[in-house]
Amino acid sequence: MNILKTLELSPTLRLLAARVLLAGFGSVATASSLNFGIDPFEGSTLRNTPGRQVIGGEFFINFNTPTESFVFSGPAFGMSEFRFANGLANSIPANANVIVLQTTDNDDNPLTPFGAGNAADILAIRITVPGPGLFIYFNSSLKLPRLVYSDDLSRNTADLKILARMLGLNGQSGEAMLNELPAFSASNFLLAETAAVPEPSSLLLIGGGLSLLAFGGLRRRAARSRHRQELTGRSLGTVPVH
């Protein structure tokens, strides 16, 4: 539904409102963070299903490590601190809970797929501190990195939620993105006490655009009401007073 068209604004007012709304939403869309503010398993019944469950439905994104970051709600993800590690499996500390895994094979056979479950199994061997966590791994079938949430990195039966797949990383695509995994640092993973919201300046712009829409809609409805009253008066043989 086109909100500008629905309210039947005049062409001039419609154009002005559209420009203000685009400015507001544009500043949100180009923000340098991707925010995750709800329980990763919200709406799913996997908690009641035995064994590991892997939930997809992830975002498809491009990511630039020098300028962008992931922001996670601590309460929603059950995490109060981040302990970051980036490297091959045998270098991952036992207490890490945010990991960029550079290992891409779990069975010494490059022809077999390496997916989220395989990466989680490798990490479960290394991680001895129970608790939820996040990891990035390189999917050998899709040929791209994926961001994954685990409700317990130390268990090889923990449920997994795929949060995002990276179609591009630092301007690279396909297998070339493997070489970009070492570029991830702790600064790319931020923990928030609550879900992130648009910046105040963005909210003001959006609010201004919506106010223009509301004002224009009221003016148009008032004009139609006056017109109907005049028509009713004429049909009754009366003359409207101006």
Mean pLDDT per 10-residue interval, the chain, length 242 residues: 40 45 38 87 80 90 96 96 97 98 88 93 97 97 97 95 97 97 97 60 46 54 61 50 46
Contact between residue 142 and residue 175 where contact means Cβ atoms under 8 Å apart: no
pTM above 0.75, yes or no: no
pLDDT in the model for residue 7: 39
Measured distance CA(155)–CA(176) in Å, rounded: 31
Nearest to 23 by CA among 208, 197, 196: 208
pLDDT at 238: 47
Long-range residue pairs from 200-205, CB within 8 A, at least 24 positions apart, any chain: 201/27, 202/24, 202/25, 202/27, 202/28, 203/24, 204/24, 205/20, 205/21, 205/23, 205/24, 205/27
Instruction: Supply 7's token pair.
Output: 């309210």
- SS3 of the chain: helix, strand, coil, percent, to 5: 40, 20, 40
Domain ranges of the chain: 3-25+198-226, 32-192
Q: What is the pLDDT of residue 52?
A: 85
Q: With contact defined as beta carbons under 8 Å apart, do 172 and 65 qualify?
A: no
pLDDT at 202: 42
- What pLDDT, on the 0 to 100 scale, is given for residue 216? 54
pLDDT of residue 94: 97
**pLDDT attached to residue 128:** 97
Q: How far is CA 71 from CA 8, 107, 186, 193, 223, in A?
A: 39, 33, 12, 10, 48
The pLDDT assigned to 95 comes to 97
Closest of 189, 178, 163 to residue 114, by C-alpha: 178
pLDDT at 220: 60
Measure the CA–CA gap between 163 and 178, rounded to whole angstroms.
Answer: 19
